[in-house]
Amino acid sequence: MKLILLIDIFGTVAFAISGVLTALNKRLDPFGILIIAFVAAVGGGTLRDILIDAPVSWMRNLTFIYVIFGSTIFAVIFRKRLGYIRRSLFLFDTIGIALYTIVGVEKGIAAGFHPTICIALGTITACFGGVLRDILCNEIPIIFRKEIYATACILGASTYFLLHFSRIPEDFIVIISGSVVIIIRLMAVYFKLSLPSIYTNEEMEN
């Protein structure tokens, strides 16, 4: 199995579980839980494939469907063992964006796009499944708030693109790039780092 496909599958698992946790937090029924898991897992990748005029991956490879179903059942059954939903959601969401960032950049490189487009595709793949998940669950998507989220993906995607043309083995490039996303996201949350606000204190109060 190719490394990039393996990463894609692991990313699908992480985002499917994050979707389940969000749906459980909103007390959705089983069908709602499955839909949110599906959208979170493949939403970003579907948008990416449409933009680059490529076959939608989950429609050509049913492995992703089986993985989403399996991840959903697993998360529902073991939801109590996943600990606090908020903390678990953050963990799986962070792992998901790290893995999907790499997949998106690799797809862009394989299609021969400009570096900027490759980085954008990595960010879209990583972020937009979560955007759709949050919108459907009546939440303001993290990417639209002050939290450092898309920025971590952009930096991780840039790292992967730059190292891709070096002599470093691909496995190490994946580890380094994914770690960049995860570390930046963790540091942003731990140290409460955020992008500067354009609003004044009076506007914030109103």
How high is the mean pLDDT in each 10-residue block of the chain (206 residues)?
85 94 94 97 97 94 96 92 74 94 94 95 96 94 84 96 89 94 93 79 63
What is residue 83's predicted lDDT score, i.e. its pLDDT?
61
What is residue 192's predicted lDDT score, i.e. its pLDDT?
84
- Contact between residue 17 and residue 41 where contact means Cβ atoms under 8 Å apart: no
Any idea where the domains of the chain sit in the sequence? 3-205
Residue 193's CB is within 10 A of a number of other CB atoms, namely: 14
| Residue 100 to residue 205: CA distance in whole angstroms | 37
What is residue 145's predicted lDDT score, i.e. its pLDDT?
78
| Residue 33 to residue 8: CA distance in whole angstroms | 21
What is residue 172's predicted lDDT score, i.e. its pLDDT?
93
- pLDDT tens digits for range 96-115: 999 999 999 999 999 999 99
